[in-house]
Amino acid sequence: MKEEARSSVPRRMAMLVALAVVAVLSLGLLAACGSNGSGSSGGGGAAATDETTMTTKTLVKTAANELALVDWDVTDADSPLTISSDDPKYAEYVEDLSKLTGYNIESLTMQVSITTVQGAEIGATHEFTYENTYTVDSLEAVVDSKTITYKDGDFK
């Protein structure tokens, strides 16, 4: 099991780099989309809402992508899982989110559903691998001194 964890470190790092690139590109696309209506009159209130919406979308999408890379000892029996910036177990995860998004995440609490699926059989040991799929059900955070909230389905 430790051998598998060690061999997956380069793979995990490559995936983190890929996710970082996707997050940066997504931020650029979101910023480009948000700038289309900035010259219209009466858009002052809408611009603030759009910035908050873009921040929320970026944080939720990055959080969901980063969840695919975590190696916590959880299964679907632990669902729903509460991830909080106040819990030392998740401090590194929240710090990674802050680095990937470029946001100052002052606090974060999110509810995550876990679905555990059986993966491939390891030929030598005849053991099966198990992988978790995570869904962000809700998120509340203070990001760059702004409160943001998300509930599953807000962006569908």
pLDDT tens, position by position, for the chain (156 residues)? Answer: 444 444 565 666 666 666 665 555 555 555 545 444 444 334 444 444 688 889 999 999 999 999 988 888 888 888 899 999 999 999 999 999 999 999 999 999 999 998 888 777 777 887 877 788 889 999 999 999 999 999 988 876
Rounded Cα distance, 76 and 135, in Å: 11
For residue 155, the model assigns a pLDDT of 75
pTM for this model (two decimals): 0.62
How far from 1 is each of 4, 6, 74, 83, CA to CA, in Å?
Answer: 5, 9, 16, 25
